[in-house]
Structure 1
Amino acid sequence: MKFNIEGKTALITGADSGIGKSTAGFLVDEGVTIILSDRDQEALNETIKELKETRKDAKIFGITADITKNEEVKALAKKIKDDFGGAHIVVNAAGARGAAGDFLSLSDDDWMQTIDVDLMGAVRIARAFIPQMQELNWGRMIMIASENAYQPYEEESPYNACKAGIINLSKCLSRSYSKENILFNCVSPAYVKTPMTDAMMEDLAEERNCSVDEAVAWFVKNKRPHIAMERRGKPEEVGSTIAFLCSEHATYINGANIRVDGGAVESAF
């Protein structure tokens, strides 16, 4: 299936690994010019090198930016407009687990640091790039939420709240700008193999004095027992869904949240 988005330009934040990196691979295979953004230029360069190893003619570029800094987000938007004419597609995959622990142990600073990345980061990106999509009269913005928005885990209250906010924000924007041919959707993964969950598993392995593989198996069984497929998800299983939502085959999907969770959310709704 051809996605009919050849020649479009896409920005992917949080793109040096995991879901962002996987999404870049799918979109570049469709002839999309890709701008990867994250905080570490060296990591971006390595990701670009890996993606180009099997895609010699791919148009992939890297621009560093910290989504917690509004001036850096505005500078990123200006550079993309000046150098590429603007972004048709934005995939906001940047995020962090943030502060975790018992609710009463978390301070205002813990909450605000998580909100600054996971919710306000998305706000800043949307505010900077919607005007470009308006000028182009075509846009797709995909925000990465989480199963935690529907099925919150008690030790991750700031992250839970932010991801629920992401879904609400995306729905709000879908009502505001769809008449301008700009579509907004969310994708909610569950326990996918990413650097964030890798770090969690390394900490768990140390805590339990076991291997990382044993920690993953224990975590799936004891902390994510509702994952019907009984395994961690793969980044490409999420990236392919995101790429489809960016395509011309998804023109009537707007304001939606697609769960890619292996059945992790116990409720039907």
Structure 2
Amino acid sequence: MDLGIKGKIALVSGGDSGIGWHTAHRLLAEGVTVVITDQYQDKLDAAAEQLNAKPNQLYAFTADITSVDSIATLRDRVLDAVGDIDILVQSAGITGAQGLFHELTDEGWMETLLVDLMGPVRLVSAFLPSLRKGGWGRLVFLASEDGVQPYDDELPYCSAKAGILALAKGLSRSYAMEGLLVNCVSPAFIHTPMTDAMMKKRAHKLGISIPDAITTFLDEKRPSIELKRRGTPDEVASVVAFLCSDLASFVNGANYRVDSGSVATI
């Protein structure tokens, strides 16, 4: 399917693995020039090699989205390499501090909110001038089911993702008439390095295998995931790519759930 975005320029944060990597793969296949970014150059280089893009179609630049200075450097490198971007996919994030509310520290809260809420705020702030140029733009945030269905043992992450949903809705009202459409995709329990780490921790805590940790997690913590499995990053990336496309020209301020029914409401 032709998404109508050949020749566009995209920046994908968190692009070295998981949903970010698969989104970059999807966009490259559509003829988009893609810049992937994350913290570590060696991981980015490995990700870029696996993406196997055409010459001058893929760039990999490091950045720490919690640092205003690092993001400014990223912006300058992107402008020098490819010019103004048309698409921004904000996928970078962490699970953050976990535990019941009385077990959490102020430091745990602040680290999670810095990465998962202020990181996206700072990234968008730096690249918004580019996205507002040309009369056409797409901004897609990776939110989470947790933003509307919070869990009591990961409230910092839930709070940050709820903030992302509010941020996206507000931005969607500010810039739509300039051609910049803003939306969210909210996955649930996707097979990524983040959930791998969660399941390893659960397996160790319960003294069970990782497959059993996944099965018991689905049964006990996510009973509304009707397909009874983790989703794949590509299943999420397909929806992200659609929202980046010309096919989504009347989609704005929306939150697309890719969760197999995990959120227990329509």
Question: TM-score category by the smaller chain?
Answer: over 0.9
Matched, 1:47 2:47: yes
Specify whether residues 148 and 35 from structure 1 end up closer, same or farther in structure 2 by C-alpha distance, changes over 3 A only: same
C-alpha displacement at 1:56, in angstroms?
4.7
Letter in 1 for 2:169: K
CA contact (8 A) 1:19 1:93 kept: yes
CA distance in 1, matches of 2:208, 2:49: 34
2:126 corresponds to: 128
The farther-off stretch of 168-177 and 210-219 is 210-219
Report what 1:30 is aligned to: 30
- SS at the partner of 1:154? coil
Equivalent residue, structure 2, for 1:118: 116
Equivalent position SS for 1:34? strand
Unaligned runs of at least 5 residues, structure 1: none
Q: Which runs of 5+ in 2 are unaligned?
A: none
Equivalence for 1:83: 81
Q: Look up the match of 1:12.
A: 12
Q: 2:146 aligns with which of 129, 134, 148?
A: 148
Q: CA RMSD in A?
A: 1.0
Task: Give the Cα–Cα distance (whole angstroms) in 1 for the partners of residues 102 and 162 of structure 2.
Answer: 20
Could you say what secondary structure the match of 1:155 adopts? coil
**Alpha carbons 1:139, 1:182 under 8 Å: kept:** yes
Aligned to 1:107: 105
How big is each residue's C-alpha offset from its partner over 1:22-54, in whole Å with a ceiling of 9 and x where there is no partner? 1011100000011000001000011111110xx
CA distance in 2 between counterparts of 1:211 and 1:138 reads: 48
Letter in 2 for 1:103: F
Deviation of residue 4 (structure 1)? 0.9
Question: Residue 112 of structure 1 aligns to which amino acid in structure 2?
Answer: M
Shift of residue 146, structure 1, vs aligned partner:
0.2
Moved more, 55-64 or 232-241: 55-64
In structure 2, how many angstroms separate the alpha carbons of the residues matched to 1:148 and 1:84? Answer: 35
Deviation of 1:109 after TM superposition, in Å, equals: 1.3
> Structure 2 vs 1, CA of residues 136 and 82 (structure 1 numbering), >3 Å: closer, same or farther?
farther
State the AA in 2 paired with 1:81: L
**Deviation by residue 1:170-228 (Cα, 9 ceiling, x = unmatched):** 00001011111001000000000111110000111111222211111111111111111
> Which residue identity is paired with 1:41?
Q
Q: Is the 8 A contact 1:118 1:159 kept in 2?
A: yes
Match of 1:230 in 2: 228
- Write out the 4+ residue segments of structure 1 that deviate beyond 2 Å after TM superposition: 55-58
